[in-house]
Structure 1
Amino acid sequence: MTDTPARQANPLVTGSEIARLAGVTRAAVSNWRRRYDDFPTPSGGGVNSPLFDLAEVQAWLDRQRKGQEVSADVQLWQVLRGAYGDDMLGGLVDVARLLSEGVAPEKLPADVVRLARELAESGGAAEAVSVLAERFTESVRRAGSDQVTAPRVIRAVRHFAGEVAPDATLFDPACGIGSLLLAIGPEQGVRRCGQESDARRAVFAQLRADLTGHTDVGIVTGDSLRNDRWVDLKADLVVCDPPVGEPDWGREDLLLDPRWEFGTPSRAEGELAWLQHAYAHTAPGGRVLMVLPASVAYRKAGRRIRAELVRRGILTQVTALPSGTAASHALPVHLWQLRRPRTLGDAATRVRIVDLTAGDPDGSLEPTAEQMAEVPLVDLLDDAVDLTPGRHVEDSHRDYAVEYQTLRRELTEQVRLLAELLPTLVAGDGPGLPDGPTVSVADLARAGLVEYGDPEPVSISDQLDTDYLQGFLRSAANTRRSTSSSGTFRLDGKGARIPQMDISEQRRYGAAFRALQEFEERARRVVELSRDAATLARDGLGNGALAPDS
């Protein structure tokens, strides 16, 4: 018994599709829902993505004189969704089969058959299947999924792939519905090979290729990592937007697989398994362009594999694409480029690092001089092998000499001031001062001379100097009294005591305590500057930006 997609009385449409029907913005539709009590109520969907009955919407638009003629592709999409519901990919496959073979699949509704044929007659089968693929991609994007490669990602891969020879072999081991594979290179001449784990996506990708006039395209079904259907394929260019965050990518079954030339990826590094799988399918001189999450550049588990890719001169470029390039989130994604050397001396000696994160995702993808750096391999091979572009681009444009001289001058000045701040002290009257008349802070507070501030009490009377008060509160006796057995310091307001002195003596001691406080703060600044200067000097000497004075 064949499964028949569930049919609804009328197709349902989203707010965005209502906007397209009426020729207005999505915000205008939201405004109509608030302003007009007779606007159709949702017939399905959720609170954040309601669906409306198409017939009710069209009737309301006609009454309000806000409607316009519904295009054939909009009608087809709406009827498809009404017939197939969540199984829109199945609907796309059935329509593509109809357009390719001319015979309607048994379960394809008659109104879908009619609208699909009308759309193909008006603009051609290639245009019809392309429009449906675009609508499917947009619907997936609105749902917050990354199951289909975003148009902006495709644009970026196409840009950095550059010209593709007409006799080249292209390969996408996770081709989905074929969007990336079919977008790279000329339509004619290029041999395109793809593999996709989802059978329906693979079928649609093949039908899409056939209908859009791409020649020599072969797409097979299967998990590329567990069941490589293109074992002997060596491609000139491998492009891929692989699945991300999948711990069950088959590591336990593939521990000794020869594809792991640079190291066996951990369970958390499935993306590096895809990267090595792609590289294994390159011919000498062949390239890999792979879309990867930004975290692949720095995760600890992938350090060894990243180091091998750099050390052997395989990695040629890492590009951080503009934020918003991915469909499902606003985080930047990276585009890694590998190249298989033709000979031993053909390996890369530098990695081009490009940081486009501050750019417009729809703007130019050509980096400026300030957005890129040619980084020697040795500079990447530290303990972390962090390939994050922003870090290396920023470092490459630092003026080490100017920065070092500025630090050196400031450090010299701070050391001079430090020596001047240390107060001149002479021998006192001996250890008897703490044994003389004293008063507790609690008594001073009750007398209205002190209030408890944060973190220390302060004087609110001209009879008591604040610096004198706080200085003696930090004395050894009071510190011991306020420190617990675990080493935690908390002022003991009841037990803390200070010597009794007249105000002139208080101010004399207060000035000394204030100078010591400033001395300690200045000393901490000197330590920070010393650390920064030493780090900068060591880095500059190591990368050639600085040299010893002759």
Structure 2
Amino acid sequence: MTSADIARISGVKPTAVSNWRRRHNDFPKPVAGTDRSPRFDLAQVESWLKSQGRNKSISSNERLWQAFDSVRGAVPPEEALAAVGMILLHQQKHGRSEQSELTRLMAQAGRTFVDVVGVDLAGHVPETDTAGLVTLLDTAVHAVRDSANDVNAASEVFELLCTRFLDTVGRAGFTATPPELADLLVQLAGGATGALLDPTCGSGTILLAAAGHGYRRVLGQDINPAIARIAALRLALRDSTARPASFTVRDADSLRHPATSDDQITAVVSTPPFADRNWGYEDLAYSLTWEYGVPPKLEPELAWVQHALNRVTPSGAVVLLMPPGAASRPSGRRIRRELLTRGALRAIISLPPGLAAHYSLALQIWVLYRPEQDTTAARVLLVDTDGEISGGKPAAIWAQVHAVVVGSWQRFRTDPDNFAERPGIARAVPLADLLDEEVDLTPRRALPLPPPPAVTDDELIATRDQLVGLLSALGDTLPGAIRSPQVNTEPVRTMTLNELAKTGAVFIRRTPTPSPDRTSDAPTKEGRIVTGDDLLAGKPPTKVGDVNADEVRNPPIRAGDVLAPLVARRVTARVATAEDVGAYPSSTVYVVRTDPTVLDPWYLAGYLSSSDGERQAERMGSSLGGHLRVDLRRVRIPLVPIETQRAYGQLFQELAEFTRHLRATHDLGMELASNSIDAIASSLTVAGEPPPEP
């Protein structure tokens, strides 16, 4: 287990674990890993914690995860996970009998797997004498025995382990589908009749969602045998109290070697791989699958679209997750045109950027139907969810996306010709508007925003008068000749902020970045949050969210605190304003609290914002797209007498006031210019439509 794991089970911060290692000679020594990332033995750590009076109870599921994490170096994690699933499936089917020899039990589990899943996925099972695998499988067996859920213990334990594995990052060639996305895709496919196919099923999340929505038969195929086995095991171990569903999972390349089936496939739902240059262009150039045109080599996503339409029955639904480029790349316009004119493509839905954990793009959902003879679709639904999302926690964002997408699709399916447009969000677009030379189906392109509310002449005059007042006030704050206070000509002694912190003259803190792998029982409350962007823009706190309610560990900002961004193009420190007081710093903000009898806050903020202060604060090799990562602790502060500091601080405060007025004047001037442009242009357009022909 890592230091972060020890911190999580102990309910402390990782820095506390580092302190234990330095201060306690009897702290367990690393048994694996590296100097920078050591790994420790769970039993030794647990024993040490008990000796220190930290009797934290470690759950069976936590022990199972640590055993699984430890075996990764010796066995591929997918194979280790499949071995656990096979043992648990055997226990679910044949009861929790005592076992005396793990090798014999594993052999029995292999036969049970073949009986339930089929021989195709049996594949290679890791040898039980592999280092660490014995401990892993034994821990899994005990986790089931310790479970309070007698009926679905094996299912519960395996699903928890799968979920945690799928949430980890860095697995080359495999990206898990978030359950919320799988649920949304399946719901868009419509009624749960017949069989549902996922030709790139991965770990089976979409198949599980389909079974949960009422499909009695689900089919999956994946090119990765180890991942396909995990999908089959998740389905086989599915909660026995849920609605039953039969399944078949195969391991093969779906495009080159599609699995045959006698089932009536009424829906294909999938998240096919993106930008796969080796999808089979040379092998499949003359395939009969390409009913809408041979996909160019650089358009693998359009190959998957046609493959899915070919597998589904007439009028069956196809719902695919697609990259945004598939809707606009010139190389695919011929196929997009065919999909539109023949009535196959019914909707394209753009999701918010970065919504799913492993996707940073604004991905799209394509909804298609295999057209029956002589059927056409006069309109296509285009939806852009980004403008409708108000933010919040992931669960809240998914709920908002689900409401917009499902609501729009259901209204469109009911009456596409009379679909009520939502400007900037959803529109039923006539085919004629899309069949231009580019056939660009990007939703935002066809969703004109509602016209901004008209700005009246009176409002423009009021803004102009306000700007005149600001310009007048700005003149009063213009800095005059620099009148630096007199200082001793002898060299000034300096100390770094870090050294000053050790003397108690300053207190430096930064809120740690929350870790998705670490849970905390600390109480929270809603509070205003100052971000690094707020400091750079000269704005008051703009964010509201949950903060640690323990004011000892997370004190609010006080008057006199100096705030500085962690990353910036230029260091911009400021003394907390009246709006800042009572707010909480984000993880992108430094808070420096000074002893005003030793270090004047305005003097400190001014010096940190100077070119010399910025040069010292910049961390070597830390340029991030033109931004600098700031380390305030290394800045050496000239230690002049406190009276001289206050004199300098007064000058810095006057310049800060000038900067505030200058920024306010700039912002209001730009607002006046923008509103004036809109007022002039409003006579040229009406409700986003082009002006009539003369």
TM-score by length of 1: 0.64
Partner Cα distance (2:82, 2:200) in 1: 18
Structure 2 residue matching 1:288: 3-state secondary structure: strand
Q: CA deviation at 1:52?
A: 4.2
- Gap regions ≥5 residues in structure 2: 92-103, 108-126, 409-421, 458-676
Residue number in structure 1 paired with 2:271: 241
Equivalent in 226, 236, 239 of residue 200 of structure 1: 226
Residue number in structure 2 paired with 1:378: 432
- Is 1:133 the counterpart of 2:121 in the alignment? no
Residue number in structure 1 paired with 2:70: 82
| Residue pair 1:317, 1:351 contacting (<8 A) in 2 also | yes
Equivalent in 118, 136, 155 of residue 112 of structure 1: 136
Q: CA deviation at 1:238?
A: 0.9
Structure 2 residue matching 1:252: 3-state secondary structure: coil
Q: CA deviation at 1:82?
A: 2.1
Structure 1 residue matching 2:219: 3-state secondary structure: strand
Cα deviation code 1:384-440 (max 9, x no counterpart): 2222222222x2x3449989xx9xxxxxxxxxxxxxxxxxxxxxxxxxxxxxxxxxx
Residue number in structure 2 paired with 1:54: 42
Alignment of 1:156-235 (within 5 A): 156-161=184-189, 164-165=191-192, 167-186=193-212, 190-212=216-238, 213=240, 214-230=244-260, 234-235=264-265
- Is 1:389 the counterpart of 2:443 in the alignment? yes
Residue number in structure 2 paired with 1:33: 18
Equivalent in 303, 315, 326 of residue 285 of structure 1: 315
Q: CA deviation at 1:54?
A: 2.8
Alignment of 1:246-261 (within 5 A): 246-261=276-291
Q: CA deviation at 1:43?
A: 5.5
Cα deviation code 1:96-115 (max 9, x no counterpart): 11122346326344433332
| Residue pair 2:342, 2:375 contacting (<8 A) in 1 also | no
Amino acid at match of 2:166: T
Residue number in structure 2 paired with 1:307: 337
Q: CA deviation at 1:75?
A: 0.9
Structure 1 residue matching 2:439: 3-state secondary structure: coil
Partner Cα distance (2:440, 2:19) in 1: 51
Q: CA deviation at 1:191?
A: 0.9
Are the structure 2 counterparts of residues 21 and 317 from structure 1 closer, same or farther at C-alpha, using a change threshold of 3 Å?
Answer: same
- Is 1:267 the counterpart of 2:297 in the alignment? yes
Partner Cα distance (1:325, 1:253) in 2: 35
Cα deviation code 1:501-539 (max 9, x no counterpart): xxxxxxxxxxxxxxxxxxxxxxxxxxxx9xx98xx87xx
- Gap regions ≥5 residues in structure 1: 1-12, 407-528
| Residue pair 2:320, 2:366 contacting (<8 A) in 1 also | yes
| Residue pair 2:275, 2:300 contacting (<8 A) in 1 also | yes
| Residue pair 1:148, 1:176 contacting (<8 A) in 2 also | yes
Partner Cα distance (1:51, 1:373) in 2: 55
RMSD of the alignment, in Å? 3.6
Q: CA deviation at 1:76?
A: 1.4
Structure 2 residue matching 1:180: 3-state secondary structure: helix
Q: Is the radius of gyration larger for structure 1 or structure 2?
A: 1
| Residue pair 1:170, 1:193 contacting (<8 A) in 2 also | yes
Structure 1 residue matching 2:71: 3-state secondary structure: helix
Partner Cα distance (2:7, 2:431) in 1: 53
Are the structure 2 counterparts of residues 18 and 268 from structure 1 closer, same or farther at C-alpha, using a change threshold of 3 Å?
Answer: farther
Amino acid at match of 2:233: L
| Residue pair 2:387, 2:425 contacting (<8 A) in 1 also | no
Q: CA deviation at 1:53?
A: 3.8
Partner Cα distance (1:47, 1:398) in 2: 58
Q: CA deviation at 1:183?
A: 1.2
Q: CA deviation at 1:218?
A: 0.5
Equivalent in 70, 74, 90 of residue 101 of structure 1: 90
Are the structure 2 counterparts of residues 145 and 356 from structure 1 closer, same or farther at C-alpha, using a change threshold of 3 Å?
Answer: farther
Q: CA deviation at 1:548?
A: 4.8
Are the structure 2 counterparts of residues 113 and 274 from structure 1 closer, same or farther at C-alpha, using a change threshold of 3 Å?
Answer: same
Are the structure 2 counterparts of residues 18 and 378 from structure 1 closer, same or farther at C-alpha, using a change threshold of 3 Å?
Answer: farther
Residue number in structure 2 paired with 1:148: 176
| Residue pair 2:341, 2:376 contacting (<8 A) in 1 also | no
Partner Cα distance (1:271, 1:89) in 2: 26
| Residue pair 1:265, 1:273 contacting (<8 A) in 2 also | yes
If each structure's helix is expressed as a fraction of its own residues, which one has the higher value?
A: 1
Q: CA deviation at 1:90?
A: 0.5
Partner Cα distance (2:692, 2:373) in 1: 35
- Is 1:338 the counterpart of 2:392 in the alignment? no
Amino acid at match of 1:310: L
Residue number in structure 1 paired with 2:59: 71
Q: CA deviation at 1:353?
A: 2.6
Residue number in structure 2 paired with 1:495: none
Are the structure 2 counterparts of residues 392 and 125 from structure 1 closer, same or farther at C-alpha, using a change threshold of 3 Å?
Answer: same
Are the structure 2 counterparts of residues 16 and 184 from structure 1 closer, same or farther at C-alpha, using a change threshold of 3 Å?
Answer: farther
TM-score by length of 2: 0.52
Amino acid at match of 1:284: P
Q: CA deviation at 1:14?
A: 4.2
| Residue pair 2:268, 2:308 contacting (<8 A) in 1 also | yes
Equivalent residues, number: 401
Amino acid at match of 1:344: D
Q: CA deviation at 1:222?
A: 0.5
| Residue pair 2:348, 2:367 contacting (<8 A) in 1 also | yes
Amino acid at match of 1:325: L
| Residue pair 2:197, 2:220 contacting (<8 A) in 1 also | yes
Cα deviation code 1:238-258 (max 9, x no counterpart): 111111221011100100111
Are the structure 2 counterparts of residues 50 and 153 from structure 1 closer, same or farther at C-alpha, using a change threshold of 3 Å?
Answer: farther
Percent identical across equivalent pairs? 32
Partner Cα distance (1:311, 1:330) in 2: 32
Partner Cα distance (1:332, 1:383) in 2: 24
| Residue pair 2:314, 2:371 contacting (<8 A) in 1 also | yes
